[in-house]
Amino acid sequence: MEKIRKNYPAIAPAGPTYSRGVRVGNLLFISGCTARGTEAQGKAAMEQLRVTLDRIARIMKEEGGATSDIVKITTFVTSISDWRAHQAEQEALFAEYFQGKYPANTLVEITALAEDGLDVEIEAIAELS
């Protein structure tokens, strides 16, 4: 099966050693997206979450899909206690972007992300038509 590796420099620029997305048949694997390079970098986790979800939604649209096509995400955060302290806002953002069609989600606390000022990273797997 053909593997199509893509980057989306206008949406979520990838580093030099990986692809932002890899499509294999009907599956799309999106590497971890953050608020890197945006005004949200270094700001509150919920501001970063909005930018991150927006980037993922824009990638899905670019591929002819929608966030409802996402079947699995992994959410990495640098502080689960901060994440939980903003649970209502986090739930509202997920409701806005997934409109009740939530993917499976694993939440993982990590020590740090690739750059200072990044506290949220989400990777996704989608099934496209």
**Comparison of pLDDT for 129 and 65, the residue scoring more:** 65
DSSP 30: E
SS3 84: helix
How far, in Å, CA of 66 to CA of 126, rounded?
Answer: 9
Count of domains for the chain? 1
How far, in Å, CA of 118 to CA of 77, rounded?
Answer: 9
Residues 6+ positions from 18 with CB-CB distance below 8 Å: 31
Among 3-7, 12-16, 92-96, whose mean pLDDT is lowest? 12-16
Domain with 110 in it? 3-127
- Whole-model pTM: value is 0.97
pLDDT digits (tens, 9 = 90+) for 26-56: 999 999 999 999 999 999 999 999 999 999 9
What pLDDT sits at residue 129? 87
Give the domain CATH number at 122: 3.30.1330.40
**Lookup result for tokens 């409802």:** 68
How far, in Å, CA of 60 to CA of 38, rounded?
Answer: 20
pLDDT digits (tens, 9 = 90+) for 50-97: 999 999 999 999 999 999 999 999 999 999 999 999 999 999 999 999
